[in-house]
Amino acid sequence: MTFSNYIFDPRIAFADTLPSDWYRGDEILRIEKEKIFARTWQLVGRVDQVASVGNYFTAIVGNEPIIVVCGKDNKLQAFSNVCRHRAGPVAKGSGKRNVLQCSYHGWTYSLAGKLLHTPEFDGVECFDKANYCLPQFKVETWGGLIFVNLDVNAVSLSAYLEDLPNRFGYHNTPDLKLAARKDWYVDCNWKVYVDNYLEGYHIPLVHPGLNRELDYGKYEVETKRYYSIQHSPIKENATRLVKGQENSNPAQYFWLFPNLMINVYPDNFSTNLIIPISPNKTLTVFEWYFRNSENEEIKKEVERVVKFSDEVQIEDIEICEAVQRGLDSHTYYQGRYSVKRENGVHHFHALLMEYLQK
């Protein structure tokens, strides 16, 4: 092993944080992709991208290129996007097809993943097309979002989400449409970014603007089996966040293990998908969902919300990249958790250890 042994203490008051070498090196990331990203429900796209028969899009989960397609029976299917011939891509980008044709030598598969045609393959012995179907993965939806799980033994998405859909409140995702998207590359390990998201401890110093909007004294982090939720009332005199009716809609920040964040405000929600690119490079994909986003007034609101989010994200990127540099220090190995403020980070590390050990 090229990273150190870590004994995780489930008692936060006694626990040491993750060792610094867990945030560096190819080996830990290789294991995380195999044991975590390939075994958890991963957000891959939206139902409106595959609304009719033959619509498809491609994505990558862990190390697996995948295709999500609306099949002939109008049901969503997820397949490996790796041709069974010599591993070419069966589909690229997104679009609409009657059959899926590999762009290398033209092997063709049905929308159900069955191998149909193999050009110029006469004379090949002991070859049964039935043995060369595209491997299929679990695919499920919640609201307008599509999730895939590469693990055939995984619990269902609804079991994985527990009561999260109820807590999501009136934000019934199919009503809200994608209004904006932004990709950010951050020079840090994916866990540095997730750790940072999971505590409000840094808000007063890192996000002075956000701190003026949220009631930090009432900020709380609640942990469930596979997700956690941070909530905070929006202040009476907030000017940049929209307050809910009668103060009943606090800002809610959901995190679903391992790499999805859903930020819920009274008038919109956004997803942040955290994708490791290399041990110290991470892609964060931000997507905002609004009602009536074609409306001119709402468009202005989207712009305003994205601008405020950019400000907070730039502050987070700066601190995450500084932390990554700190983790390279020879004098730092591991630290401790605040019992009051870092239970969400400790919960993430508990799940991380659970998955790495099973």
Task: Give me the residues that bind ligand FES (CB under 6 A), please.
Answer: 83, 85-88, 102, 104-107
Give which of ligand FES, Fe ion, none residue 316 binds (C-beta under 5 to 8 Å, depending on kind): Fe ion
- Compute the least distance from the CB of residue 58 to ligand FES, in Å: 15
The C-alpha atoms of residue 327 and residue 279 are separated, in whole angstroms, by 12
Output phi, psi for 247, to 5 deg. Answer: 60, 20
The C-alpha atoms of residue 289 and residue 143 are separated, in whole angstroms, by 12
Nearer to Fe ion, 64 or 316 (CB): 316
Nearest residue to 192 (alpha-carbon basis) of 287, 274, 308 = 274
Residue 316, interface with Fe ion (CB under 5 A)? yes
Q: Which runs of consecutive H residues, i.e. helices, occur in the chain?
A: 26-32, 157-161, 164-167, 190-197, 203-206, 208-213, 296-327, 343-357
Residue nearest to Fe ion (CB): 316
With CB under 5 A as the rule, give the number of residues binding Fe ion.
1
- Compute the least distance from the CB of residue 307 to Fe ion, in Å: 16
Give which of Fe ion, ligand FES, none residue 88 binds (C-beta under 5 to 8 Å, depending on kind): ligand FES
Nearer to ligand FES, 87 or 314 (CB): 87
- Taking CB under 5 A as the binding criterion, the range among 33-41, 80-88, 309-317, 347-355 that sits at the site for Fe ion is 309-317
Nearer to ligand FES, 120 or 297 (CB): 120
Nearer to ligand FES, 85 or 182 (CB): 85
- Taking CB under 5 A as the binding criterion, the range among 59-67, 124-132, 315-323, 344-352 that sits at the site for Fe ion is 315-323
User: Can you count the helices (H) and strands (E) in the chain?
Assistant: 8, 17
Phi-psi region of 113 (alpha: psi -120 to 50; beta: other; left: phi over 0): left
Q: Which two tokens stand for residue 148?
A: 């895939």
Nearest residue to 311 (alpha-carbon basis) of 225, 209, 222, 212 = 209
Residues that bind Fe ion (CB under 5 A): 316
